Structure 1
Amino acid sequence: MIIGMISTTSTALKSEITTMVGWYERSNVGDDILDILVKTPGDPEDWETDPSTLIHLGLENPSYPDTIDFKKVEALNNAYLDNDDAIRRALLNLSMGRDFSLGLFLTKIEISGDVTVIPPNTEGSVDVEEESQVSISQTNGFAFGRPVIAEWMNPERSDAEGTGNIDHVINITAGESFVFKLTGDNTNVRIIVHEPGSGQPSRYDIPSGVVVHIDVDTGYLLIGWTKLSDGTYKIWIPYKPGNPVWTTWSGTIWWGQQGGVSSSDLNIRYVYATEVTHADYNITLVNGKFMYDPTEVGKSMEKSPWITYSERRVPMSKIVYSSQYTVAPSGLPKELYVGTIYNPIPEYMSLKVQFDDPGYIVMVAWLRGTNVSGYSVMAAYRGESDPTMRAIINQTINGNTIVKYYSSQSPDYIVIPWKDFLTTIKPGENLDVYVWVYKMSNVDSLTVTDLSGISTLMKPQTSLAVLRLRVWDEP
């Protein structure tokens, strides 16, 4: 009798122990899977470059320990969508044959709204040769030493001190442009050009209120300027008080309505992973096979006697870069560059934008750094009658907006300094950047090229990622 009771009790105890062990294994399987994913890089460590070589799956970035790698997250998702067998086997081993669904929620930048581009309207132009005599003034004749009045000028910099009532001198060198807008009361403004060997100078009347562009192709042009108390500018072109001078540059002077880029309807929002409602990527394995239909996934979960839920919040390192992109209108907005710039951008680093069609493209940069918060919108365009490639940058940094204008010597492309499109930082500061091609109007194909290797100044940007895992076992 006693022996029978002991035997019965022993059998019941064994059953309870077995049940408890099963429950313990189930309750920990999700945590074990997530630990392996976020704490190991996988085998081989660079499996994301060729997922077919994968033996063991892991998402950690070996170059930045304790972060998961965005490139591995993307590679996992792409292989899942392609029904890659190596990924399937690795996931099956990782889950020990159990069914599961992994949701990856990523911090992101959402961009929406419209950007309005009004290309400048060219009303006139004149080519300038070296060793000519050129002046822009408000009076007839070669009125050297007589200024014009401008609402604004770009660039506004001082390369040397002036003399007398001229405070600053700017040196516009080959490849640069100087742009200014005449005030509405600037009357009788003329460009006078006397080419070498010609008898009489040519005169070009400039309407008040227009924007004047001086594109320097070779040599250099010295311009004097002084900022007045009302915020306008006196500009002396060229800087040589009272005397005609032979030009030390060649290029083009053109004028017309300024055009512009309006981003008032543009909305750029930083969304934390914890605020994301729907997973950016879902990876589901049921009965050893990938499953893509959410309804079928739900039916499988309903059949299981148990479901466990696990979650991890981890830093994700992300860098997006290629030396050259070809972009089509169907893939917009197209993310081109993502990372953290950790050194000041040198003057020589630049971006090349190239397209063949008369039309325009818009690129947007989101900027956040040590002492920087804002965005930059660039429109590059070319017209039917004037095929010269031109660009406008409308940039808002820390609440202050500036507009910059550029011209190219080529009808096919334009080169923009990276520090102008992005912004400048000081040594020791960081700048997080996201850059998209946002809009293409009448342009079928766009090529964007980093000419100088800005990637040498970039490291991965770190943001929050949330991994949510459900594990079950369909009978």
Structure 2
Amino acid sequence: MVGALRGQVFSMDALVSMVIVVMIIGTVSATSESIKNEIVSLIDWYERANVAENMLDVLLKSPGEPEDWHLDISKLEVVGLRSSNRSYALDYLKVMKLSSPEVIGKAIDISNGKDFMLEVFLSRYNVSINGTFPRVYLANVTFGLDNPSGGANFRVESPDGRDFTVSYILLRRSDGTEYENEEVCKLVKGNVLKLGNKNNKKEDESYINYMKIITTESTSIDDKKDDRPPIIVPPGTVIEIFILNKTSDLQINFNPCWQTLKITGQGNVVVTVSAYDSTVPNILGNYTFAQVVELQDIPTLSFSVINGTVINDKIIIEASMERSPWVEVEKRTVSIETFLYDLSANPSSEVPMIYGVLRSQLPAGSYLKITVPDLPGNMSFVVLSKSDMSGLMIYRMPFENIVRAVVVHGNTSIHYTGNSTSISIPLKDLFGNPQEGDTVAMWLYSLEGWDRGSVKIEIIPDIKWALAPKLDAAIIKLWVWDDS
């Protein structure tokens, strides 16, 4: 009986032990499976993270193969954006080649078969010209002097022959006495003021030999005896008229005095006329850092590759990311060196034709030469020197066989005259006196009336050697996912 009881106790102990062992084995197995899953998950994460990191490392830490691949993309073996001159900076020209099909193909090679989107945010200038440059429409042009039929049939009126309005009028007598605005009305008989001294009783009596007005609407200046078409000037134009003969038939018809008028004269009229704009434009240049450009979500360039195909549709890209079980994002803030010197560049408010820092003084006597077609047209430039902005306009009027230019600094302007097809502007008038290390840049801002290929821009002597690349901030962002 006792032996049987002992056998039962032994059997019960063995059973309990076996249960404990089974529980331990089960727990260990479950733990091992959990650890295994964690390890697999960690490896998957590491592989995903490595794709983004490795891609950016290859792009940002290598100049590529060959190093000058951006000069001939057909020779590209491995894409890399690092500058050949500075190991800590990217090359602007290489970065701007990123979105070309050949370069994207090489980027796919380093993506490990994953989908990705690359965005580049560059610090940048944006320039603008608000308002119009002060053009010269007439420069001391004499009407009536060579007319054998007795002077000019001179008219200053609205384009359709009506009276026009002015914001300012000045009359000056030959003895120096001046009359402005309301004071002019003292001289008017009825609504007419006759100029010159044809109607004066004494030949030596002083007479009005000069007038100046500022228009508030489009105005026509014309000699009806001349075959040339009338000259139409815009609102805000200053018109100066010098009366060259005392016995002139020139007169002003007011309606009423003094802001509404018409100037006429037929017969003994010889006048020298100048007409030019009275306002200057506001030249602006805003520099935006890469960090701000990123916050604005306006990438300088961007492209995405999904299953080996370049996709630019944001809706498709976002849907692909949604389908992926994971999305990894990597961002780097880097320096980028920019050196631009392309005098054949097209108009742009963002990309300059010249951009860099001075490594030495601009050569004395250097100048900008512009050659244009034998046609009316105009082109404008924005110039940066250190932090100062200025503007330049080259133009040719329809009624003149001459090229003119005007440089604007703040509220001041300097006018230049060239020949029939070209004009030269001293660089010191454009850039002032920048010192070594100062930023200098020039944008071709606008072009009207001329084809870009018909306009030649030169700097003589070439100043490319006097410039070095400028360092700016840039942000590179890379998204990697798997929508396979």
Q: What TM-score does the superposition give when structure 2 sets the normalisation length?
A: 0.63
Task: Show the 5 A alignment for 1:75-154.
Answer: 75-77=97-99, 79=100, 83-84=101-102, 87-120=103-136, 121-124=138-141
Q: Secondary structure at the match of 2:88?
A: coil
Of the three residues 390, 396, 404, the one matched with 1:382 is 396
Q: Secondary structure at the match of 2:458?
A: strand
Offset, 1:301: 0.5
Q: Secondary structure at the match of 1:448?
A: strand
Please tell me whether the aligned partners of residues 186 and 209 of structure 1 are also in contact (alpha carbons under 8 angstroms).
no
Task: Show the 5 A alignment for 1:46-445.
Answer: 46-77=68-99, 79=100, 83-84=101-102, 87-120=103-136, 121-124=138-141, 256-257=274-275, 259=277, 262-264=280-282, 266-276=283-293, 277=296, 278-322=298-342, 324-325=343-344, 327=346, 335-356=352-373, 357-368=375-386, 373-396=387-410, 401-408=411-418, 410-426=419-435, 429-445=436-452
Deviations 1:211-258 (A, max 9, x none): xxxxxxxxxxxxxxxxxxxxxxxxxxxxxxxxxxxxxxxxxxx98345
Offset, 1:124: 3.4
Partner of 2:224: none
Q: Give the letter for the 1:107 counterpart.
A: S
Does 2:61 match 1:39? Answer: yes
2-structure distance, mates of 1:337, 1:365: 9
Please tell me whether the aligned partners of residues 385 and 434 of structure 2 are also in contact (alpha carbons under 8 angstroms).
no
Deviations 1:304-360 (A, max 9, x none): 0111111111111111112x4275x7x677632111123221223221112122232
Please say which structure displays the higher CA radius of gyration: 2
Q: Give the letter for the 2:357 counterpart.
A: T
Change in CA separation of 1:414 and 1:17 when aligned onto 2, cut-off 3 Å: same
Partner of 2:183: none
Please tell me whether the aligned partners of residues 381 and 390 of structure 1 are also in contact (alpha carbons under 8 angstroms).
yes
2-structure distance, mates of 1:315, 1:287: 31
2-structure distance, mates of 1:468, 1:341: 31
Task: Show the 5 A alignment for 1:12-23.
Answer: 12-23=34-45
Change in CA separation of 1:186 and 1:440 when aligned onto 2, cut-off 3 Å: farther
Please tell me whether the aligned partners of residues 101 and 285 of structure 1 are also in contact (alpha carbons under 8 angstroms).
yes
Partner of 1:464: 473
For structure 2, the residue ranges without an aligned partner over 5 or more in a row are 1-21, 143-169, 177-208, 214-271
Q: Give the letter for the 2:74 counterpart.
A: S
Please tell me whether the aligned partners of residues 347 and 417 of structure 1 are also in contact (alpha carbons under 8 angstroms).
no
Please tell me whether the aligned partners of residues 121 and 301 of structure 2 are also in contact (alpha carbons under 8 angstroms).
yes
Please tell me whether the aligned partners of residues 367 and 426 of structure 2 are also in contact (alpha carbons under 8 angstroms).
yes
Q: Secondary structure at the match of 2:352?
A: strand
Q: What TM-score does the superposition give when structure 1 sets the normalisation length?
A: 0.64
Offset, 1:367: 2.9
Deviations 1:87-131 (A, max 9, x none): 344212322111111110111111235340342122238xxxxxx
Larger % of strand: which? 1
2-structure distance, mates of 1:316, 1:90: 21
2-structure distance, mates of 1:295, 1:407: 55
Change in CA separation of 1:293 and 1:65 when aligned onto 2, cut-off 3 Å: same
Q: Give the letter for the 2:80 counterpart.
A: G
1-structure distance, mates of 2:449, 2:413: 24
Q: Secondary structure at the match of 1:56?
A: coil
Q: Once superposed, what is the RMSD of the aligned Cα atoms? A: 3.0
Offset, 1:11: 4.2
Larger % of helix: which? 2
Offset, 1:187: 6.0
2-structure distance, mates of 1:341, 1:268: 19
Q: Give the letter for the 1:340 counterpart.
A: V
Q: Secondary structure at the match of 1:111?
A: strand
Q: Secondary structure at the match of 1:42?
A: coil
Q: Give the letter for the 1:422 counterpart.
A: F
Q: Secondary structure at the match of 1:117?
A: coil
Please tell me whether the aligned partners of residues 327 and 480 of structure 2 are also in contact (alpha carbons under 8 angstroms).
yes
Change in CA separation of 1:440 and 1:5 when aligned onto 2, cut-off 3 Å: closer
Change in CA separation of 1:17 and 1:260 when aligned onto 2, cut-off 3 Å: same
Partner of 2:11: none
Identity among equivalent pairs (%)? 27
2-structure distance, mates of 1:52, 1:187: 76
Change in CA separation of 1:332 and 1:391 when aligned onto 2, cut-off 3 Å: same
Change in CA separation of 1:33 and 1:24 when aligned onto 2, cut-off 3 Å: same
For structure 1, the residue ranges without an aligned partner over 5 or more in a row are 126-182, 190-205, 211-253
Aligned length: 339
